[in-house]
Amino acid sequence: MKRFTLLTFALLMTFSLAAQEIALQLYSLRNELKDNPGKYFEMIPSWGINALEGGGGYGYSDSEFQSMLKDNQLRIIGVGADYGQLSQDLSPIIANAKKFGAKYVTCYWIPHAEGPISAEELIDATALFNDAGAKLQKEGLTLLYHPHGYEFSPTADGQLMDYMFENAKNFAFNMDVFWVKQGGGDPLKIMKTYPGKFPMLHMKDRRKGTKNSLDGRADVEDNVVLGTGDVGIAAIIKEAKKQGTAFLVIEDESSRSVSQIPQSVAFIQKHLK
């Protein structure tokens, strides 16, 4: 019995260490992929990344794209879901996700006037995500929402975004820690307050000294190598490991992404050990 217990413990520890996978949001290479997609799809595995977020064929036919992914040992884990489409017909979203074999579909933006989102708009979006999320679950898909900072207006007892976190029943979150910080939120505190709601995280650090904003806007050049900014990435990785977050998705929107991504991978790997 003692031997079995020790073996079981060892297996559990092995699973724990492998529970988080580093992924890449292909938007990080939006400029590079326009000119020479093959070169960069070959490069990504050399960075220690095999999981990708983001659809599109980049000039390849469906069969060519699938072959290119297979040849480079890459796979698509998540695709986008337009807010307007979520409110109408889910069929295109479902078909796109299944075409790529993705499990997650992420809505990245709630339409609203420039500046902070209103409470009414956030409440309506929460209802839509719960409704669409329930339908997507029947198709084996998980709907996620990606906050962009404009949801974090202060309220009497916290921040507006707390409403969505507290009322997310049929969807979860692909939390971009940069944007949460940009909007005045605390990504680590949020993870601890709402555990289990973050199967994916966008790992993005912010240049020290950057000013917060509530309009969902920021200078892309304020994206810096993970661990060198003010977001507190090391503690977030530790919490993600504790909670069993499936994917730590690097997104680097800066013009230095190709040089910065390998450094960010190394930082995550160091703190996952």
Mean pLDDT of the chain: 93
Domains of the chain are 19-272 (3.20.20.150)
DSSP 122-171: HHHHHHHHHHHHHHHHTTT-EEEE---STT--EETTEETHHHHHHH-SS-
Question: How is 11-37 classified by DSSP, letter by letter?
Answer: HHHHHHHHS-EEEEEGGGGTTHHHH-H
Question: What is the average pLDDT across 163-189?
Answer: 98
When mean pLDDT is compared across 58-67, 106-115, 243-252, the lowest value belongs to 58-67
Supply the pTM of this predicted model.
0.92
**Would you say 203 and 234 are in contact if contact means Cβ atoms under 8 Å apart?**
no
pLDDT at 18: 47
pLDDT at residue 4 tops 90 = no
Residue-wise pLDDT for 128-174, tens only, equals 999 999 999 999 999 999 999 999 999 999 999 999 999 999 999 99
Q: What is the mean pLDDT of residues 208-215?
A: 97
